[in-house]
Structure 1
Amino acid sequence: MPYLSWLTREEDIRSASQAAYRLLKEVPEHGAGDPNSENMLIQGDNLEALKALLPYYAGKVKCIYIDPPYNTKSAFEHYDDSLEHTTWLSMMVPRLELLRELLAEDGSIWVSIDDNEGHYLKVIMDEVFGRGNFVANVLWQKRTSPDARATLGAAHDHIIVHAKCVDKLKDKFNKIP
């Protein structure tokens, strides 16, 4: 199976297991709704947040959707979307490793991305989740305008879908009641 290689690859793969466990701390003044709900809003570094969720939710999450930086060199107030490519890979790999641990055996992960990193993301996800657990590359049209139809261009984005164990999930996909 092909895999991506970059300078810090091996240490990036290990970084998921080396991330420190942090305790989640409730901040009552930021709470809303039913305090007995299992819903949470976590503020902080997402690698540390994922690691903090593992003791509670490892192997229990049925569906994960993430919308990582597309790495389009755009300016956003809350995160850097202009990472050097290997830095982007270094950020994604440990997070995908932890997300895999959170997934239930019949769970799936859906990752939104565009053409800038989509093909690299597919290869990384094949490596982390197993190529045989690839479900689909869902294309969605993000704009419809005369300009989008006039020339070849980026009128669509991708949602790359993998299962933790596709055999436990394949009978559940594409079922419409």
Structure 2
Amino acid sequence: MNKADSGTRKFIIIEMMEYANNISAERVKKIIKGYGEGNNAVEGTGGNFSFYSLGEPLLIGDNLNEAVPPKKIREYIWFMETKKTYTPPIEGNPYYLGKHNDSSYYFYYERKNVTVLDYAFLATITDKANSTIIYADRCSISEENLSQMNIVFKKIPRDITRL
């Protein structure tokens, strides 16, 4: 159809079954390159093709999926907060995600332990910013005190933004 009306159509194919890689992908490649011989030859459309497989879901119901590595959760949270690709900090607090627009981000998460945003955790923060966003399982500091310190507490997993 693009050739018939000089269109610029693009498309995305989504397959949910096992045949996506060995049947659907091969059909799309033939359309791009062309197929057949002699009088039965069909000219290819040109273009390109990428094949992606989805990973494990980040959340299962109201819980973090234990099959998802913490690194992937950190990348997701960073992107949802900043709309930027995540680059891990070189050193420092293991829960520190980074700084963006003068806000520092922390993901205080441990698979086997409940994490609590408390004054002991705040003592580990060395990065200074106008505001600090901290993800943790619980918080033992009052909203008033957090506000005075320009800290926003986000509960894991409730406050992890969903796509």
Q: TM-score w.r.t. structure 2 length?
A: 0.27
- Which structure has the larger Rg over C-alpha atoms? 2
Structure number with higher helix proportion = 1
Query: When the two structures are superposed, what TM-score results if normalisation uses the length of structure 1?
Result: 0.25
Q: Which has the higher contact order (CA 8 A, sep 6+)?
A: 1
